[in-house]
Amino acid sequence: MSDDPAPVPGAPSGGARERIMVAALRCVERDGVRGFSLEDVAAEAGVSRTTVYRHFPEGRSQLVQETATWEVGRFWSRIATAVAEQPTLEDRLVEGLLMGTRMIRRSRIMANLMDPDLDELVSALRPAEPLVHTVIADYLRALLEDEAAAGRLRPGTDPAEAADYLTRMILSVLGSPAGVDLTDAEATRDLVRRQFLAGIVVPPSGK
């Protein structure tokens, strides 16, 4: 499973709207969040300026915001797809954190961000935050309900509450590793065992 920032297989493709957002991402990679115009995006996408405005009538800010939200959605769906094969909840969390970290490190957008760019990106992403939290928590809740049915959760664990807790930890750790080496599988597994799952899953016997 590649985690290159390439289009998600099976994602709708070819539409002008998506082509414009892909072009916007390329422009951001090249010129920064603040460094491109709608003309640049139109040229990159091979469409007219009018077409860009038809899809994003509020102009640049709408394009930046929706592209950022769309890219965040792709980021998480790539991770969900990649970890689907992992045998345990712990493995999924570990692999997801490792992969998320690799993708962030590799992202030319993140690497090139200057502070004013970062501020604009923060503003652009803010409206999507509750949605991101909800999507991740719903995904984890379904996993936790399966785990509960299999008898692998501590008695009395509330899957919804546990999913909310895990979502907070995932978002916090990926955003600010603060000393944890998320490129190292052992360090990441140790973190997941201690801080993510210790209160949620039944401790492995003999441990």
Partner 1 sequence: MTVIAGGRTGTGPVDAAAVALPALPPAGSNEAKVLDAVLACVARWGMQKTTIDDVARESGLSRATVYRLFPGGKPEMLRSAVLADVARLGGELTGELARATDLEDCLVRGLLAAGRHLSEDAALAFLLEHEPASVEAHLAFDRLDGLFATAAAVVGPSLAPHLAEPGRAGEVAVWAARLLVSYFLHPSPAVDLTVEDDVRRLVRTHLLPGLVPGPSDNHPTPLTTRSTGT
- Do the Cβ atoms of 163 and 144 come closer than 8 Å? yes
Instruction: List the x/- string, 6-35, binding to partner 1 by CB under 8 A.
Output: ------------------------------
Piece of 42-50, 53-61, 83-91, 177-185 that binds partner 1 (CB under 8 A): 177-185
Residue 108 touching partner 1 (CB under 8 A):
no
Contact with partner 1 (CB under 8 A) among 9, 14, 151, 156 = 156
Contact with partner 1 (CB under 8 A) among 13, 61, 88, 183 = 183
Nearer to partner 1, 84 or 114 (CB): 114
Question: Cα(16)–Cα(143) distance, rounded to whole angstroms?
Answer: 35
User: Nearest 5°: CA angle at 130, between 129 and 132?
Assistant: 65
Contact with partner 1 (CB under 8 A) among 38, 80, 132, 143 = 132
- As measured in angstroms, the least distance from the Cβ of 38 to partner 1 is 23
Residue 135 touching partner 1 (CB under 8 A):
no
Contact with partner 1 (CB under 8 A) among 10, 12, 151, 175 = 175
Q: Is 95 exposed, middle or buried (0-12, 13-18, 19+ CB in 10 A)?
A: buried
Nearer to partner 1, 13 or 195 (CB): 195
Residue 70 touching partner 1 (CB under 8 A):
no
What is the 3-state secondary structure of the chain?
Answer: CCCCCCCCCCCCCCCHHHHHHHHHHHHHHHHCCCCCCHHHHHHHHCCCHHHHHHHCCCCHHHHHHHHHHHHHHHHHHHHHHHHCCCCCHHHHHHHHHHHHHHHHHHCHHHHHCCHHHHHHHHHHHHHHHHHHHHHHHHHHHHHHHHHHHCCCECCCCCHHHHHHHHHHHHHHHHHCCCCCCCCCHHHHHHHHHHHHHCCCECCCCCC
Contact with partner 1 (CB under 8 A) among 12, 57, 87, 178 = 178
Residue 80 touching partner 1 (CB under 8 A):
no
Residue 100 touching partner 1 (CB under 8 A):
yes
Positions touching partner 1 (CB under 8 A) are 71-72, 75, 100-101, 104-105, 110-111, 113, 118-119, 122-123, 125-126, 128-130, 132-133, 154-158, 160-161, 164-165, 168-169, 171-184, 193-195, 198-200, 203, 207
